[in-house]
A and B are shown apart, each in its own frame.
Chain A
Amino acid sequence: MNSTTTTPVVSVTEVTKCFGSVRALHDVSMTVNSGEVVVLLGLSGSGKSTLLRHLNGLERPTCGAVDVLGQTVPKLRPTALRALRCRVAMIFQQFELVPSLTVLENVLTGALGRLRGPRLGLWAYPKALRVDALRRLERVGLLDKAYQRADELSGGQQQRVAIARALMQNPQVLLADEPVASLDPESATQVMDLVREIAAADGLTVVCSLHQVDIALGWADRIVGLRRGEVVMDTKAANLDKAQVMQVYRDLAPGPDVDLDAELVSAGLVSAGYSVSGPA
């Protein structure tokens, strides 16, 4: 750990997000320091993806503040937002490659933020960028697949292409939204190892949503647990074991006879004095 670990790269302050009458996030606060690898854990619908999507401005909070790399994301004008997105790469559960394009062209789309105007076809990208893209592909071990169609690749390979596309942005922050949820265990391990390796080599800050506790425990520096849009756990991964983390998945119904805070404290998930419903 070096001195940069104390600089907050991401800071989310009391963010609430409502989709119509549905409250996806409720009063969420969280910070991520430079070079840190953080996993967001929680059930489907707990708000992990929504929180991630706030970090690059794909969603705007109903109230609260989101600061990434020193910029207040919800307040950015389109051009500035795009400039920020260039530095914050994202990979997705469904990879989100264009199936009919070649692998290389998919990787090149990662450079669009730096380029002006629309691009279609390999020839539309400068040669230097094409070389760059091939280097990224080499890094994820798929150089030989450069000219195959994206949909001819296996799921694990497609996610590696998506990582190469993310690397094309030369990002400082990498957001990963359930990157291995659609993969078999072996490909999942490969992809997670690759992300960790690249994060270490490039000093990337990583925020990754997952729901596999086993993968998260051995992989993350820190684990943030979400339940029903609220942060219910925020602990260094080294201090946790599986039984403790599983508490995040217990769908406790906060009723008049259940003292949620006390239960969480007794389960060792949060420190004493923590309040789920926030201060006041």
Chain B
Amino acid sequence: MTTHTDTSAAAPGEVDVVTRAPRRRVAVDKIAGLGLIVAMLAFSVHALSRLDFSWSSMRSSMDTAVTTFSRMDPISLPPAGDLVYLIGLTVGIVVLGTAMAAVISVPVAWICAANTSPSPWLRWVGRAIGVITRAVPDVVLAMAFAMAFVLGSALPGIFALGIHSIGMISKLFADAIEQSDDGPRQAVRAAGGSRAQEFWAATFPQVLPSWIATVLHRFDINLRGSAILGYAGVGGLGYAMRVAFQQFPEGYGRGLGIAIVIFVLCVVLEIVSSTIRRHLLGTDPAGRGLGGRIVRVATGDRPARPAGGRLTAFVQRLGRRPSSADGPVGTNRTAPGFVRRLLPRHRDAEVSVEAMLHRPWTGSRVRNLVWVWTAVALVVASFWWADVNASQITWDYVLPTVQSFWPPSYGSHSFGEFAQAMLITVEVAFAAAGLSLVFSVVFGALAARNVAPTPGVRQFFRVVLVVFRGVPELVLAIFLIMITGLGNQAGVIALAFGGVGLLGKLVADSFEEVPRGLERAVTATGATRTQRFFSSTWPVGFPALVSNSLYLVDTNIRAATILGIVGGGGVGFYITQASTVMSLHGQVTTLVIMIFVTVLLVEAISTWLRRVFR
């Protein structure tokens, strides 16, 4: 055998080894994949250039903004009482809509997940439900449902959010089920359990943390999107903002004030929910962030203790004191009655079946109970605040409303017109995604623990991303459109802004998920930080980056659709026109099918690329 230290044989060995080595195979699919990625990047650059970001148009929009600011009233807020009511109404509608979607998503996810689905065709039914509900924007649903409910009811908004959110929630629920361990399910099956018992005893406890995180995540998204529901006549902050913006110029001050309230509300709730999510999933053991502090102040918890909070420590301390005294009998005597009930008996001599019948009040039990009742209270309060009841449904209109969507039609328009509109929407989506991608790679890398030069830098960019993510991009879009008088350009900027928050976070997470050992191995060879990034972190994180970017395109297409409702162009414009009139609902179906096909295409590309760059 020839080795590198064996110098006499090295030269002929080298030649030999080159001839003996197998030829490198040209991977056609990888080249095609790269070509596709380059083509999509080129398309987003093209789309950006088409949207006229020239100096002159920027200057004129700045002039418009200055004029608007000079002519409007000073920024103001509604009276405190009204404001509290509006905030409560918006949050209540979002809570109820998200909760409704979460409940419906459980069976949908169960039939979707490969490892729990009773049959293959049910999987397809489940997937179809997911894709269809996701394709129809919530605001379109709200407009279309309006007829079926009493005027001023919150129900159209709740139903719109509740149905639209099923797509994403059930998808993520199903993913969690598929990632769960199959063993416990088998154990329950081997013990004679039924399918339902398998699910509730073995699957549900495993996926619960991830499910809660998903629902909270969707809650944030819905809250950010809820303002747009005001354009469908659903009450709350969004409606109040829309009404204010209708009075030019004097209402703009009030409108801006409400917009700022929505911004703050979204950012605050984003921080709270992302902190709860992090606690649940345990991905951030440090918990030193701003949000972490807020929640700790609220819950009285400490980050250093893995299980249970102060109460556990308290109970444990109580437990230790008496058991340091000799004798099991003495132990129970010295501890006061309530402590005896609190204490799990740790010493064999004291343990009896009767004593163990009651579950001890450990910190984690108390905390879980508090969380559960808080959630229940929140839902009940939302019902009460949003003033929801069944009498608000006008049953006579339910069936005609549903029927009006079939068959699909072009109305007075043509396929060419709709296709042109669809192209504009796709351009907006790609342009925004392209802008987001550039910033996300930089911000996301700097927010990743294993790439950021110092923990301080990481923390800073994490906070930046949270703020970006918290900003409701549609409210930002409305704001920019109102102020600059521009349509889709303003929309692209707004979407790109929100996209950085989402994609940057996903990029950071995917970099952090690169196995530590891999990077350590590269470091051990004497590589520099940069070398380490490009030879281990980047190649491992790349497939995730591709699929996350396409996910962003996907969400952008939906968001760009909605832009049409607030003054942009594209399919949204036609949908808005058609969805308010029952006889035109066929056009809505046509347009939704077109969105649906486009989104499926993007998803297919994403799936394929993920397989190629696995």
Contact = CB atoms under 8 A, between A and B. Distances in A.
Contact of A86 (B192, B204, B206, B208): B192
B196 A118 contact: yes
Given A100-B209, A109-B191, 9 more contacts: A56-B190, A83-B192, A90-B191, A92-B187, A98-B201, A98-B205, A100-B205, A102-B359, A118-B201
Contacts of A149: 307
Interface string A88-108: 111010111111111010000
Across the A-B interface, the 8 shortest Cβ-Cβ residue pairs:
A113-B192, A96-B183, A85-B192, A118-B200, A86-B192, A112-B193, A90-B190, A96-B187
Between B204, B208, B360, the greatest number of chain A beta carbons within 10 A of the residue's beta carbon is seen for B204
Contact of A82 (B193, B201, B344, B360): B193
Contacts of B352: 143
Interface string A210-229: 00000000000000000000
Contacts of A138: 351, 353
A122 B359 contact: yes
Nearest to A149: B307
6 contacts: A90-B191, A98-B184, A100-B206, A119-B197, A138-B351, A138-B353
A152 B307 contact: yes
B607 interface: no
Contacts, number: 120
Interface string B344-359: 1111100111001101
A92 B191 contact: no
A128 to B, nearest CB: 11
Given A134-B357, A146-B356, A147-B344, A97 B184 contact: yes
Nearest to B204: A120
A256 B386 CA distance: 82
A127 B208 CA distance: 25
Contacts of B345: 144
Contact of B351 (A102, A114, A130, A143): A143
Nearest to B203: A98
A135 B353 contact: yes
The main secondary structure of chain B at its interface with chain A is helix
A90 B187 CA distance: 7
A204 B186 CA distance: 22
A99 B190 CA distance: 18
A92 B183 contact: yes
B542 interface: no
A130 B193 CA distance: 18
B533 to A, nearest CB: 34
B70 interface: no
A92 B200 contact: no
Contacts of B192: 82-86, 112-114, 169
A252 B112 CA distance: 45
A117 interface: yes
Q: How large is the interface on B (under 10, 10 to 19, 20 to 34, 35 or more residues)?
A: 35 or more
Contacts of B202: 98, 109
Interface string B200-221: 1110111011000000000000
Interface in B354-372: 356-357, 359-360, 362
A118 B197 contact: yes
A63 interface: no
A225 B349 CA distance: 44
Contacts of A95: 183
Contacts of B199: 118
Nearest to A78: B194
A58 B197 contact: no
A49 B438 CA distance: 52
Nearest to A127: B357
Contacts of A111: 191
B189 A89 contact: no
Given A112-B197, A144-B348, A147-B344, A58 B189 contact: yes
A109 B187 contact: yes
B357 A165 contact: no
Contacts of A134: 353, 356-357
Interface in B142-200: 181, 183-184, 186-194, 196-197, 199-200
Nearest to B189: A58
B363 to A, nearest CB: 12
A131 interface: yes
Contact of A94 (B183, B194, B307, B344): B183
Interface string A173-197: 0010000000000000000000000
Contacts of A100: 205-206, 208-209
B343 to A, nearest CB: 11
A65 interface: no
Contacts of B205: 98, 100-101, 120
A162 interface: yes
A156 interface: no
Contacts of A58: 186, 189-190
A110 B201 contact: no
Nearest to B192: A113
B186 A98 contact: no
B357 A109 contact: no
Nearest to A83: B192
Contacts of A96: 181, 183-184, 186-187
A147 to B, nearest CB: 5
Between B187, B209, B307, B347, the greatest number of chain A beta carbons within 10 A of the residue's beta carbon is seen for B187
Contacts of B351: 138, 143-144
A175 B201 CA distance: 21
B201 A85 contact: no
A89 B188 CA distance: 10
A114 B193 CA distance: 8
B211 to A, nearest CB: 12
Interface string A63-89: 000000000000000000011111011
A207 B176 CA distance: 34
Contacts of A122: 359
A165 B187 contact: yes
A154 B58 CA distance: 65
Contacts of A147: 344, 356, 359-360, 362
Contacts of B353: 131, 134-135, 138, 143
B186 A112 contact: no
Between B184, B196, B202, B344, the greatest number of chain A beta carbons within 10 A of the residue's beta carbon is seen for B184
Given A109-B202, A131-B353, A134-B353, A85 B189 contact: yes
Contacts of A131: 353, 357
Contact of B201 (A90, A104, A119, A166): A119
A186 to B, nearest CB: 19
A89 B200 contact: no
Interface string A115-159: 101111010000100110011001000011011010010000000
Interface string B306-326: 010000000000000000000
